[in-house]
Amino acid sequence: MEYTRLGRSGLSVSRLVLGTMNFGSRTSEEDSHAIMDRAHDHGINFFDTADVYGAQQGEGGTEAIIGRWFAQGGGRRDRTVLATKVYLPMGDRPNESGLSALHIRRAVDASLKRLQTDHIDLYQMHHIDRDTPWEEIWEAFSVLRQQGKVLYYGSSNFAGWHLAQAQEAARSRHFLGLVSEQSIYNLMNRWVELEVLPAARHYGVGLIPYSPLHGGVLSGVLRKQREGSAVRSGSGLWAAAFDEHRDSVEAYEKLCAELGEDPAHVGLAWLLAQDGVTGPIIGPRTAEQLDGALRALRITLDAGTLAELDAIFPPPAPNGARPAPEAYAW
C-alpha cells in the first residue's frame, strides 16, 4: 500500500479510501466486516462513512456496523483513520440537520456512540450550510477538538469559494481549518478542476474524490454488456451519462484494452496521478472487488496516455492555453 499526508496535515493515510456507503443497504453486516478486515490486510487504513449512511434514514446504520466491527478488538480501531460526516437530516424535527452548534454537538455524540469510539479522526461537513455563519461553525468545532472528540476537519461538496471562506475564517481564529475536501471527481466529471482543485491546492486541502468510476460507467460497462454481465447503477443519472457519452466510453475502453488494463483500474490510476488528490474512495460490495482495486496502485500512466485520456474526456477549461483558474485571466 502507498501512503500520503492528508492535505497539509501530518496524518498519514492510504492512497485508496474505503467507502462504506453500501454497508447495511447493499452489503450485509457480515460481508461489511469481512471487507474491512480485508482492507486492513491490504494496508488500507482510511475508512470513510457518514451519519446518514445505512438502510434506514436517521438510524446511522452504517456507523453502527463499523462500531460493532471495532468492538471485536484486535487493534481494529487503532489501525483505522476514521472519517465520518455531519449535515444531512437525521430526523424531521428542527435542529436535526445543518451545521448549527446545537446539531454539531448532538450529531458528534451520536456518531461516537454508534461507532463505539471516543474520537473521530476526520469530521467532515457533508455540505455547505448557507444559513450558519462560519464563526459559529468553527467555534463548535474548536470545542470538539479541545474535548478530544475530533482531531481533524474536512468538507464535502464545497465550491472553491466555500473553501476560501472556510479557510480564511479558520485563519482568523488561528485554527488549522480544513485538511480535506471530498468531491465528485472522475474522467467524465472534471468540474472540480475549474475552481475546487486549485483552491484545495492553494490552501493545502487534500482532495478525496468520490464516485471515481462515475457510477460504474468507467468500469468497462460496454465490455460487460458484450459478456452479458453488465449491471447498471440504480440511478438513472448514470444511465443517462452513459447514453450521452457512449462514443467516449467506447474510445476509453479501447484505450484500456490497448494498455492491457481493466477500465476500472485505469480510472482509479488516473485520479491517483492528479496533483492534489489524496486518494479516491472505493466502495466495494464484496471482498473480491476490493482485491481488484489494488491493481490501480501498480499502474503508471505515461504522458502520452494521459494526453490520450484528456482527448477522450477533455478538461473543462474556459481557454485551453492555461489550466484553471488561470484560464480565466488573459
Q: What is the pLDDT of residues 278-321, one digit of tens each?
A: 999 999 988 899 999 999 999 999 999 999 999 999 988 766 66
Instruction: Tell me what the mean pLDDT of segment 104-112 comes to.
Output: 98
Residue percentage of the chain with pLDDT more than 70: 95
Backbone angles phi, psi at 23, to 5 degrees: -65, 120
pLDDT tens sequence across 60-100: 999 999 999 999 999 999 999 999 999 998 998 999 999 99
Sign of the CA dihedral with 220 first, then 222, 227, and 230 last? positive
pLDDT level of residue 229 (50, 70, 90 thresholds): low
CA pair distance 244, 239, nearest whole angstrom? 9
Cα–Cα distance measured from residue 61 to residue 52, given in angstroms and rounded to the nearest whole number: 8
* DSSP string computed for 141-181: HHHHHHTTSEEEEEEES--HHHHHHHHHHHHHTT---EEEE
The predicted pLDDT at position 111 comes to: 98
Q: Is the pLDDT of residue 230 over 70?
A: no
Average pLDDT score, the chain: 92
Confidence of residue 244 (pLDDT cuts 50, 70, 90): confident
Contact 166, 203 (CB under 8 A): no
User: Does 152 qualify as catalytic in the annotation?
Assistant: no
Domains of the chain: 3-216+264-307 (3.20.20.100)
C-alpha cell at position 45 = 487504513
Instruction: Please compute Rg for the chain using Cα positions.
Output: 20
Instruction: Report yes or no on whether pTM surpasses 0.85.
Output: yes
Catalytic residue, from 3, 53, 87, 185: name it: 53
Give the amino acid at 48. D
- Using one digit for the tens of pLDDT, what is the confidence trace for 135-183? 999 999 999 999 999 999 999 999 999 999 999 999 999 999 999 999 9
